[in-house]
C-alpha cells in the first residue's frame, strides 16, 4: 500500500509537487482554490508565467530552476495542449554592462549578447536566447487532468491549520504549498502578498521581451489565446482596483522597449488583470520541519521554480537530503 501524503494548496507549486510524488505515493490535495477557478485570492491563474531565470539565486536555487526548465522544455516538445510553448526572448538591462554574472547563459539555448548599437535608449546591455512561456489557463487544468488520472484526490476546503490538513488527508506527512496562506499556517510573518497589475491584449506579437533594472517591463505571449500579457509592476497595495494611470505607463514602457510595436493599441480594448503574488521578504522556503515540508515564497517566480521545488520536496521526504533552507 502506498504511503499517503497531503498537500495544502493547488497552485503551480502544489500541483508540481503532486505530479512528482504521485507515481510513488497516495496524494491528497486540500485547497480553497482549484484549477479552473479565477478568483483573485490566489496567484497561479494570473501569472505571466514566462520561464525567465532569476539572476539573484543561490547555487541550490539555480539547480531548482534548471530542473524546472527541463520539465517545461520537454513538455513543450511533447504536448502542445499543455499551454507550454517555446519563444525567442529579448532581455534588456540598465543595471549591468556585460554578461559576466549571468549564470543562466549556459542553461538557455541560443544565448548571445546583443550588440550595443542595437540597444534602445537607456539600455546598457541586452541578451537574446530561446525561452518558454506558459498559459496558466491551459497548464493548470492539464496538470489536474493528469493528476486525476493518477488517482490524486482533490478536496476543496480552506484549512485553519496544518494539523487540520493532516486529519483530512489522513497523512502523516504534509507539504505546505499554501503560498500567502503560509503567513497563518506556518506562522511566518515574512509572508506577504505582492500586488501585480497587467493587461491581456489581442495581438499576433509572438516574442518574449523583458526589461530589468530601474524598471520592470515585459511582453509575454500566451499560447492558444491569440494574445499576450503586457506588464508589469510590483506593489504593496492590497486592493484589486485597476490603476488606470499605470496602464498608460505600462504601454509607454512596452512601446519604448519594442520600438512602438503596440503604438496603435487602444487601452479601452484590453483585459485588465490584477493578482497577488505569494511573496516572502526572506525569500523562497523549501524546508522540512518534522513531518511538514514547507514549499512557498517564490513570489512571481512560482512557475520558474515549481518542478525544481517539487524535486527538492521529494528529496526531503525520502531523506536523501536532510535540509534545504534557502
CATH number at residue 241: 3.40.50.720
Q: Is 277 annotated as contributing to ligand binding?
A: yes
pLDDT digit string, tens, across residues 13-67: 999 999 999 999 999 999 999 999 988 788 898 888 999 999 899 999 999 999 9
pLDDT at 227: 95
pLDDT digit string, tens, across residues 265-308: 999 999 999 888 899 999 999 999 999 999 999 998 999 999 99
Residue 323 lies in a domain: no
pLDDT digit string, tens, across residues 241-264: 899 999 999 999 999 999 999 999
- Which of 154-158, 162-166, 234-238 shows the lowest per-residue confidence on average (mean pLDDT)? 234-238
Element (H, E) at 70: helix 59-78
pLDDT greater than 60 at residue 325: no
Q: Is 300 annotated as contributing to ligand binding?
A: yes
Is pLDDT larger for residue 48 or for residue 190?
A: 190
Residue 163 lies in a domain: yes
Element (H, E) at 249: helix 244-258
Cis peptide before 62 (omega within 30 of 0): no
pLDDT digit string, tens, across residues 61-115: 999 999 999 999 999 999 999 999 999 999 999 999 999 999 999 999 999 999 9
* pLDDT above 90: percentage of residues in the chain: 87
Residue 160 lies in a domain: yes
Neighbours of 178 (CB within 10 A): 31
Regarding pTM above 0.85, the answer is yes
What's the whole-number average pLDDT of the chain?
A: 94
Q: Which long-range contacts link 103-110 to residues 24+ away (Cβ below 8 Å)? A: 103/53, 103/55, 103/57, 103/62, 104/53, 104/55, 104/62, 104/65, 105/129, 107/53, 107/65, 107/66, 107/69, 108/53, 108/69
Residue 127 lies in a domain: yes
Q: Is 150 annotated as contributing to ligand binding?
A: no
pLDDT at 323: 44
Residue range(s) defining the domain that contains residue 117: 4-318
Residue 325 lies in a domain: no
Q: Is 87 annotated as contributing to ligand binding?
A: no
Number of domains in the chain: 1
Distance CA 78, CA 84 (A): 10
Amino acid at each position: 500500500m502506498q504511503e499517503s501524503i497531503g498537500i495544502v494548496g493547488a497552485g503551480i507549486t502544489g500541483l508540481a509537487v503532486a505530479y512528482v510524488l504521485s507515481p510513488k505515493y497516495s496524494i491528497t490535495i486540500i485547497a480553497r482554490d482549484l484549477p479552473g477557478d479565477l478568483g483573485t485570492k490566489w496567484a497561479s491563474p494570473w501569472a505571466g508565467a514566462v520561464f525567465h531565470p532569476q539572476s539573484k539565486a543561490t547555487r541550490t536555487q539555480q539547480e531548482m530552476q534548471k530542473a524546472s526548465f527541463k520539465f517545461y522544455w520537454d513538455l513543450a516538445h511533447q504536448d502542445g495542449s499543455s499551454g507550454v510553448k517555446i519563444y525567442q526572448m529579448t532581455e534588456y538591462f540598465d543595471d549591468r554592462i556585460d554578461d559576466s554574472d549571468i549564470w543562466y547563459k549556459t542553461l538557455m539555448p541560443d544565448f548571445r549578447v546583443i550588440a550595443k548599437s542595437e540597444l534602445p535608449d537607456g539600455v546598457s546591455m541586452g541578451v537574446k536566447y530561446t525561452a518558454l512561456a506558459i498559459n496558466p489557463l491551459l497548464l493548470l487544468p492539464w496538470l489536474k487532468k493528469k493528476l486525476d488520472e493518477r488517482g490524486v484526490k482533490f478536496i476543496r476546503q480552506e484549512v485553519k491549520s496544518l494539523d487540520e490538513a493532516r486529519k483530512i488527508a489522513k497523512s502523516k506527512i504534509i507539504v505546505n504549498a499554501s503560498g500567502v496562506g503560509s503567513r497563518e499556517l506556518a506562522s511566518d510573518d515574512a509572508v506577504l502578498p505582492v500586488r501585480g497589475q497587467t493587461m491581456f491584449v489581442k495581438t499576433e506579437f509572438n516574442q518574449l521581451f523583458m526589461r530589468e533594472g530601474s524598471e520592470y517591463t515585459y511582453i509575454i505571449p500566451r499560447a492558444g489565446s491569440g494574445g499576450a500579457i503586457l506588464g508589469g509592476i510590483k506593489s504593496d497595495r492590497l486592493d484589486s482596483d485597476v490603476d488606470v494611470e499605470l496602464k498608460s505607463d505600462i504601454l509607454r514602457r512596452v512601446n519604448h522597449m519594442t520600438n512602438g510595436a503596440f503604438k496603435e493599441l487602444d487601452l479601452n480594448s484590453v483585459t485588465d488583470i490584477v493578482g497577488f503574488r505569494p511573496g516572502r521578504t526572506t525569500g523562497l522556503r523549501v524546508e522540512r520541519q518534522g513531518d511538514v515540508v514547507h514549499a512557498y515564497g517564490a513570489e512571481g517566480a512560482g512557475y520558474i521554480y515549481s518542478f525544481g521545488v517539487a524535486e527538492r520536496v521529494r528529496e526531503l521526504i525520502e531523506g536523501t537530503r536532510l535540509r534545504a533552507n534557502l
